[in-house]
Amino acid sequence: MLRGKAFKFGDNISTDHITPGRLAHLRSNLPELAKHVLEDADPTFASRVKAGDFIVAGNNFGLGSSREHAPLVIKMVGVNAILAKSVARIFFRNAINLGLPVLICNTDNIDDGDELEVDLARGTVNDITRANQLTFGKLPEVMLHILNEGGLIPYIKKYGDFKL
Amino acid sequence: MTLAEKILAAHTDKKKVSPGEFINVRVDLILANDITAPIAIREFQRIGVDKVFDPKKVVMVPDHFVPNKDIASAEQAKLMREFAREQEILYFEVGQMGIEHVLLPEQGLVLPGDVVIGADSHTCTYGALGAFATGMGSTDIAAAMATGDIWMKVPPTIKLIYHGNLGKWVSGKDLILYTISNIGVDGALYSAMEFVGEAIDTLSIDSRFTMANMAIEAGAKAGLFRVDNKTQLYVKSRAKRPYLVYEPDNDAEYSQVIEYDVSLLEPQVALPHSPANTKPVSQVENIDINQAVIGSCTNGRLEDLRIAAQILKGRKVHPEVRCIIIPGSQQVYLDALVEGLIEAFIKAGAAVSTPTCGPCLGGHMGVLAAGERCISTTNRNFVGRMGSPKSEVYLANPAVAAASAIMGRITSPGEILG
C-alpha cells in the first residue's frame, strides 16, 4: 500500500517541463537536477514534494524527449507513482524500466493536495480526502514483470531476454 | 497487414502480427547520442555482459552538445568514445559527426524494411525510407544492446491521405504541422502513421524526412512512407548491405483513415507552446522576432538550405535578428559550400555553424533570453525549449524562417519573392 499527497498537473506535461534543456549541464549531477524537477510546470513542486507523494496528471503526461533523466529525477525525489489519464509512450516505457509505477486512470476527481492511498496489487486508488475510490487499468504483463523485478536491468539480468 | 505490421512481423518468428499484440522484435540498428548513450552504457554495464550483441548494429553519434559545450559534455563524449572503441562500434567523431537523423540515412546506415530503435525521440525520422523506426529511453537501448531484441506492442496504424498539389513554399513541414494541429499532440498516441496520397508522391525525400521526424509530435510510435522510385534512388548509392522493401496489403486494417485536400494549404506556423498550436502564416502577423534558426534533424538537409538560400541570397538579415544556420551533417555542409549557399548565408549576415542539435533543445549555439522570440525550423516549441521559460519559439519551414529573418517579423516568403 502506497500513501501520500497528490500533486495535480494538467494535460501535455512535457519532458521539457520536467527537465528543461537549459539545465542539461546538470545531467551528470542528478541530485542537483532533481532540485529542478517539473520546474517549468510548477516552480514550487520540487521544494514541496515529499517522499511517498504522487504526481496526478491529465492526458499525455511526459510527451517529448526520450531523455530518461525525466522519470529518473521524478523517482529520485521519492514520488511513489504517476497517475494520469494517458502517458506518452516513451516516457511510459522509461518510467517502468526504472521501476517507477505509472497508473492509467481517470484523474478528473482528484484534487491537488488530496491524500491518496494506492494498492498496486488490487489496482485501486483511494482518495481519502474526498472519500472516493478509483480503479486503474492493469499494466501489460511484460511491464508488470519488469516493474516487479525493480526495473528492466534486474529483469534482463534475471531472464537474459524478454519473456513475453 | 499495414506497412508497420509487415515490417514488425518480418522481425519476429511470426507470419502475422496484429495491433495490441506483444512481440519480441529483432533490431537492425540501435542508436544513441551524447545525452542518452552515457546512461545506456552505464545500464548496459550493470547487466553484466561484456560485448554488445553485434557491433555492426550499434551506432553512437555525439550531436547534442558536441563540439563539447562544457566539461560535462566533454566527459560524456569521452565516455561514449571509449565505450565505442572498446566495443568496436561505429562512433562519429567531430569532423565526421552530423545530427544523427540527418547523418545515418545519408551514410546508408538505415535502409528500407529495417527496424531501428534509438535513444532519441526523433528516431522516427527513418520512416521516410520505409523503415520501422522508433525512439526509446536509455535503459531499453541498454537491454537491446545486450540482447539484440526489444519488446513492442504492435501499434494500430492510422492512414493519412494527402490529396492535391502543394502550393509554392509549401513543404513536408507544413503538411506535418497542419496534421498535428488537426489531430493534436496525442492524436496518434501509441499508433503508427502511414503517409500516402498524390501530395506525398511528389514530396522529395528530404521533405519526407521532415514529416516522419515530427510523427512523435503527434504522439506516434512511428511515421512511415512507402518505398517508391525516389526512395530507391536515394538508397541505392548509399546502401552497403541488402535490404527488403515491404508493401502494405490491400486488405490492411487501419484504425483510422484521415484525408486532407492540401491544394490550398499555406505555409504553417506553430505558435508557442505547442506544435499543435498551428496557423497559416497569413494569419500570423506583426510578430517581431529576435532570432531565426534554420537547421536541426527536422530541416537541416540540403533541400532546406537551398530554399533558405533562395530567399537570403542578395538580401540582408534584419539588423535586429540573429540568423543561425546549421547544416545537418558535414556532407550537407560541404554540398552547401560547393553550391555557394554558405557564401550567400554569410553575405546575408547569417551565422553558419558546424552540425549540432544545439539551439533546438536550448543547449548551446543560440539559447534565448527571457522575453525573446525565435522562429525556428526545429520540431518543438514547448515552454523553455530554446532557453528561458519566458522565451517563445515559433515553428515553421525554412522558407518562412528565412523570409522572417530578413523582415524582422514573421512573414510569408511570398512577401519577398512573390
Residue of A nearest to B150 (CA): A162
Between the alpha carbon of residue B135 and those of residues B125, B247, B258, the distances in Å are 10, 23, 24
What whole-number distance in Å separates Cα of residue B366 and Cα of residue B404? 17
What is the predicted pLDDT for the residue at A21?
Answer: 82
Which chain B residue has its CA at the smallest distance from A90's CA? B136
Residue B38 to chain A, least CA–CA distance (Å): 9
Cell of residue A154, nine digits? 534486474
- The arithmetic mean of pLDDT across residues A73-95, rounded, is 97
Task: Please indicate whether, in this complex, the C-beta atoms of A94 and B137 are within 8 angstroms of each other.
Answer: yes
Task: Please answer yes or no on whether A162 and B388 come within 8 Å at the CB atom.
Answer: no
Q: Please, what are the domains in chain A?
A: 2-159 (3.20.19.10)
- ipTM confidence: 0.94
Per-residue pLDDT of chain B (418 residues; tens, 9 = 90+): 999 999 999 999 999 999 999 999 999 999 999 999 999 999 999 999 999 999 999 999 999 999 999 999 999 999 999 999 999 999 999 999 999 999 999 999 999 999 999 999 999 999 999 999 999 999 999 999 999 999 999 999 999 999 999 999 999 999 999 999 999 999 999 999 999 999 999 999 999 999 999 999 999 999 999 999 999 999 999 999 999 999 999 999 999 999 999 999 999 999 999 999 999 999 997 899 999 999 999 999 999 999 999 999 999 999 999 999 999 999 999 999 999 999 999 999 999 999 999 999 999 999 999 999 999 999 999 999 999 999 999 999 999 999 999 999 999 999 999 7
Contact call for residues B186 and B284 (beta carbons, < 8 A): no
Residues in Cβ contact with A102 at an 8 Å cutoff, skipping those fewer than 6 apart? A81, A82, A84, A87, A92, A95, A96, A139
Q: How far is A128 from chain B (nearest CA, A)?
A: 31
Searching chain A, which residue's CA lies closest to the CA of residue B215?
A: A64
Q: Is the confidence at residue A31, as pLDDT, over 80?
A: yes
Of B142, B151, B221, the CB nearest to A164: B151
Q: How far is CA B58 from CA A3, B48, B89, B136, in A?
A: 42, 18, 6, 14
Distance from CA of A90 to the nearest CA of B (A): 5
CA dihedral B260, B189, A6, A141 (to 10 degrees): 160
Q: Find all residues with CB under 8 Å of B49, minimum gap 6, and list them.
A: B146
Enter the pTM of the model.
0.96
**Cross-chain residue pair B361–A141, CB shorter than 8 Å:** no
Q: Look at residue B204 and give its three-state secondary structure.
A: coil
d(CA B27, CA B406): 45
